[in-house]
Structure formats: C-alpha cells, structure tokens
Amino acid sequence: MRTSSKWEDIRLILHYTGKIIIGVAALDLIPLATALASGEYASAVDFLLSFGAALTLGAGLSAFGVTTRRPGWMHGMVTAGVSWLVAMVVAALPYWLSGHYRGYLDCMFDVMSGLTTTGIVLIQDLDHISDSLNMWRHLLTFVGGQGIIVFALALFADGTGGGYGFYVGEGKDERLFPSVLHTAKAIWRISILYLVIGTAALWIAGMVIGLSPARAFLHGLWIYMAAWSTGGFAPMSQNILYYHSDLFEVITFLFFTVGSFNFALHSAVLRGDRKELVRNIETLSFGTTLSLLTFVVCAGLIKLHVYPDIVALVRKGFYQLASAHTTTGFMTVYPRQFATEWGDVAVFALIVAMLIGGSACSTAGGFKGLRIGILFKAIVQETRQMLRPNSAVVVQKFRYHGTKILSAQQVRSAALIVLMYVVIFAIATLAGCLAGYPLLDSAFESASVTGNVGLSIGISNTAMPAGLKIVYIFNMWAGRLEFMAILASLGFVSAIFKKRSI
C-alpha cells in the first residue's frame, strides 16, 4: 500500500464512490415508479433526470477508476467519508427540481438530514409536495439508517470487494457474520422484515383514525421508514401531531425504539437468544438513562404545570423524550413550544437524551448507549481499584454479545469518541449563539443535529444564516460517521498535498 501512487489511491476511491452513486441512481427509480403510479408526470420527469445524472456520474467515476487493486482499510474509510458528501450533492437534485427549496444549500441540508436520519427540514410548503417527493425523502432516511454503503455492499454483491473499512467508515463496527457482505445483507433482511410488519400496522392504524386506504398505506409506509431508521421525517408539516392519535403514537414509539437497538441484538433475538435483550450493556444503559431522564422531564413539566393530566404528560413529555433518546425526532408538539412552554429543566433533559442517543451499529445517532455503559463501568472499576490494595487487580466485566472484560483500549476509544461529540456539539452551540439565538435554543438545536435526532426548537429554517447551515451539515455528517471516516478523509487530503500515498 505504501508503495502505490496517490493517483492509484484516488482512482480506487473514485471507483467505489461511483458504485455508491450508482446505488443512489437505482434508488431514484422507486420515486419514479411512485410518480408514474400517482399520475405525477412532471415529478416523474424530475426523477428520470435525477436518475440519468446520478447514473452518468456514478458509472463515469466507476469506469474511470477501474483497477485490479483491492481496496484497503484506509480506502474504505476515505470512500465512506467522500461518498456521503457526493451522495448529498447528487441526491439533492430531485429536491431542487421540485421547486420547494430556496437554494441548493437547503436541498443538500435536507438530504444530509435524511441520510443521517436526523430529520430536521428546510423544505418549503411540505404539505403540498408530491407523493413521489415524499417517497424520496423517506427512502433517503430509510436507506441512510441502514447506511448507503451497506446498501451498496448488498447491491454490488459481486463487485465491491470485502473491505471492512467501508463498513466501519459508516459508523458500524459490529459484524453479524464473519463476512461484511453477509452482514450487510443480514441488516437489510432485518429491516425488510420489520418494514412489512411496521407498514401493515400503521396502514391499519391509519384507516382506523380516518385516512383513506390509499393515503393510510402511503403514510404508514413513510412513517414506518422514518420510525425504523430513527429519522423523524413525516409527510405533513405537523409531523406526528397531524394524526392526533394515541394509537399512532404507540406504534411509532415501538418501532423507533426497536429501530434504535443494535442490529447484532436484533440478530441475536431473531436467532432465539432473548436473554441478550435484558442483559446487554446497551439495553441496560438505555433503560437506565431513559428512566432517569423521564423523571427529570416529568419533574420539569409538572413544576411548570405544562400539561393538565398524566395522559398528556406521557403523550407529550415521555413521547418527545423517547423520540429524543432514540434520536428519532418525531414530534407531537410544535418546535416553539419547547422554548416557550417546556422550561429549562425539561429542555435540558432532552438535550442530554439527544446527546446520549441509541445503540451502536443501529440506525440511531448520539454517543451511543454502549459507550455510556463502558464509561460507567470504567468509573466503577476505578472506584473499586481505589478501595483495594495497590497490588490488587480489579477485573470489570460487561455483557455485550457474550461476557467481555473491560479493557483500557475500550475505555480510551469510548472516551475519545464522546469527547469529539462534545467538542462539535459545543462548536455548533457557539455558532448558534453567534448567529443571534439564545444559548439554550442553540444548545438544543446543536444537540439535535450532532446526535442525528431531528427535534427542533425553531432555529432550523430556511432563513438561518448559510454558515450555520454548513456547521449543522458538518455535525450531522460527522455525528453519523462517528469521526473516523472524516479524519481519514482529512488525512487523505493531507497526504495528497504531501505527495504521498495512503
């Protein structure tokens, strides 16, 4: 690897980026079919144009970079970082053609929000967009949840190679099977299984609450996609509040909670290992922090008499908290109600929940329950060590798909990632304050984009400064890929300037 030329490295990275863009082109065919089925011919032309543009770019890059070399670890990492940015630019084209955006930056913001399963939107007049554009929005978030590289790995089963770097670069490091290819396919099998169950449940619920069968099906499919991927998009501007339904809220709660769990946990449970569900460090961590934060949110809301009874407290307080903690972003309140009614205590609890996030190797964002659990175990270990003689060796164990012994390397790795999240969270908070927003509002929005959540306190809209949009795009991207691919990409750019290969 060290002896190869940088030109060969670039070709290899462009080749695999091209394959991922061809995957994006293939996705365009689904909203294209939706447009034709719905009689939205103008929209169908937009998607055909987007398909053609993505295919031309993707196939062009792939053809240009054809090589006999196999991708190495760093090629995978850099490709992951670069391809998410290129995919953002390419997938924004249908948004721009729709005429529902005030600029291409807003289109790219919404694509990054979708792919990273964040869920904050800058779209204009959402309530009048076509079915095909809604399909595109929710498809992006659904595929982004699994990972666009995982999607490409599953799509190009014979050609993407087996680079583990591609997989890890996308913020996933848990192999369900020894082969990355089989792992990618397993992730998709699990997602499709839940897609069928979730869409059916929400379709029936939609008809029960008064939607027509056709609208109930589309809304059910889209809401499921956004719930499972912890994306938080919805076809109407009022988000989940639009449905005014406790049934809808219960079903979405179930699917976004399940969606925030580790794919390895799903795989274990589907194989019959149900004990893992209650003993795994991530589910224990999630259960603990959710319980503690529920107490804080409820205390804050009760103190200010925000809701009239326990039902409203659960449907508003607990639902928004669970949505925040799983990094979904579904809302049954208006963004400005957080700022004007909820008070500092409840908003603070939501910020903490958004930063902690869901499970590793899932569709969720944030620090991840695994890292919080590891850091907690490290504190316990250190405390026990202090209470024992110097010569004593304290071994700390935890359950994570088998019993593991806590190592210094695991603690260091978890602490570094959490630290990097905190740093970019602080920078985006500062950016919000510099743009003229109050500190708590800025921290809330920053936690939401950094943790890929999607709850908003009202800052994110098309009128916010372009610089702030770019900071938020960066945080969504960095938060989703968990820094490694971004650092690798920066290292690659640096290597180009220093005229050495990676």
Figure out which of the listed residues 6, 175, 279, 315 binds other proteins, where binding follows CB under 8 A.
315
Q: Report which residue type is found at 281.
A: I
Least Å from the CB of residue 56 to other proteins:
4
Least Å from the CB of residue 453 to other proteins:
19
Opening angle at CA 148, ends 97 and 356, nearest 5: 105
Which span (127-135, 147-155, 265-273, 321-329) binds other proteins, by CB under 8 A? Answer: 127-135
Contact string (CB under 8 A) for other proteins, positions 477-496, x = contact: ---------xx--xx--x--
Q: Is 52 left (phi over 0), alpha (psi -120 to 50) or beta?
A: alpha
Residue 48 lies near other proteins (rule: CB under 8 A): yes
Q: Round to whole Å and give the CA distance between 447 and 462.
A: 19
Which span (112-120, 251-259, 398-406, 435-443) binds other proteins, by CB under 8 A? Answer: 435-443
Angstrom distances, CA of residue 129 to CA of 41, 132, 136, 461: 13, 8, 11, 17
Q: Could you tell me which residues are beta bridge partners of residue 403?
A: 399
Residue 159 lies near other proteins (rule: CB under 8 A): yes
Figure out which of the listed residues 11, 215, 401, 404 binds other proteins, where binding follows CB under 8 A.
215
Figure out which of the listed residues 12, 115, 468, 485 binds other proteins, where binding follows CB under 8 A.
468
Angstrom distances, CA of residue 440 to CA of 213, 340, 376, 394, 443: 42, 12, 27, 41, 5
Half-sphere exposure of 66 (CA within 13 A, CB side): 4
Instruction: Select 107 or 176, whichever has its Cβ closest to other proteins.
Output: 107
Are the C-beta atoms of residues 72 and 1 closer than 8 Å to each other? yes
Instruction: Select 185 or 458, whichever has its Cβ closest to other proteins.
Output: 458
For other proteins, the binding residues in 258-277 under the rule CB under 8 A are: none
Q: How many helices (H) and strands (E) does the chain have?
A: 23, 2
Are the C-beta atoms of residues 225 and 142 closer than 8 Å to each other? yes
Least Å from the CB of residue 388 to other proteins:
36
The DSSP secondary-structure symbol of 318 reads: I
Structure tokens at 186: 């397993």
Figure out which of the listed residues 102, 193, 196, 210 binds other proteins, where binding follows CB under 8 A.
210
Instruction: Select 151 or 477, whichever has its Cβ closest to other proteins.
Output: 477
Residue 343 lies near other proteins (rule: CB under 8 A): no
Are the C-beta atoms of residues 381 and 394 closer than 8 Å to each other? yes
Figure out which of the listed residues 82, 112, 290, 333 binds other proteins, where binding follows CB under 8 A.
333
Residue 9 lies near other proteins (rule: CB under 8 A): no
Instruction: Select 228 or 318, whichever has its Cβ closest to other proteins.
Output: 318
Q: Round to whole Å and give the CA distance between 91 and 136.
A: 9
Structure tokens at 444: 């809330």
Least Å from the CB of residue 237 to other proteins:
5
Figure out which of the listed residues 30, 195, 302, 313 binds other proteins, where binding follows CB under 8 A.
313
Please return the burial class of 205, using the count of CB atoms within 10 Å of its CB with bins 0-12, 13-18 and 19+.
Answer: buried
Residue 306 lies near other proteins (rule: CB under 8 A): yes
Figure out which of the listed residues 375, 427, 440, 496 binds other proteins, where binding follows CB under 8 A.
427
SS3 content of the chain, % helix, strand, coil (to 5): 70, 0, 30
Instruction: Select 284 or 435, whichever has its Cβ closest to other proteins.
Output: 435
Q: Round to whole Å and give the CA distance between 87 and 111.
A: 9
Which span (61-69, 192-200, 323-331, 364-372) binds other proteins, by CB under 8 A? Answer: 61-69
For other proteins, the binding residues in 235-254 under the rule CB under 8 A are: 236-238, 241-244, 246
Residue 56 lies near other proteins (rule: CB under 8 A): yes
Residue 42 lies near other proteins (rule: CB under 8 A): yes
Residues counted in the chain: 502
Which span (196-204, 267-275, 351-359, 423-431) binds other proteins, by CB under 8 A? Answer: 423-431
Which span (163-171, 221-229, 357-365, 458-466) binds other proteins, by CB under 8 A? Answer: 458-466
Residue 308 lies near other proteins (rule: CB under 8 A): yes
